[in-house]
Amino acid sequence: MIFNDWGEKENIKFITDNIVETIEALCQQSGKNIWLFGGGKTISMLLEADLVDEMRIFYVPTMLGKGTPLFPAHPQRSKWKLTGSKTYNNNILEVNYIKE
């Protein structure tokens, strides 16, 4: 997650340190789902810690060079089920998966 000076608002928290530990603690609390925005490094950490049960991946048709990989180089084996997809007018494709 990218930290900025917006600070926390109601149910929005910016996490910059101890990401896995913070998410594990949030999972133990009562309440609704946790929705995280992040890139390759964030998803890699959370997949390795088995803290992801749903993914919404957005494909943006822009060439960015090498960039940061979305998934770790050596991911642990897991199975994902496609639950839906949607194409937007700006040619962005959203693909949704849940962990089986």
Query: Quick one: pLDDT at residue 3?
Result: 42
Q: Per-residue pLDDT tens for 63-92?
A: 666 666 677 666 667 789 999 999 999 889
CATH label of the domain that carries residue 95:
3.40.430.10
What type of residue sits at position 71?
F
Query: Quick one: pLDDT at residue 10?
Result: 67
CB 83 within 8 A of CB 45: no
Instruction: State the residue range of the domain holding 92.
Output: 39-99
- DSSP percent split of the chain into helix, strand, coil, nearest 5: 20, 25, 60
Q: How many CB atoms lie within 10 A of CB 3?
A: 9
Is 90 exceeded by the pLDDT of residue 14? no
CA 59 – CA 78 distance, rounded (Å): 21
CB 49 within 8 A of CB 76: no
Q: Per-residue pLDDT tens for 53-65?
A: 898 888 887 766 6
Query: Quick one: pLDDT at residue 7?
Result: 57
Query: Quick one: pLDDT at residue 39?
Result: 75
Whether 25 is in a domain gets the answer no
Whether 79 is in a domain gets the answer yes
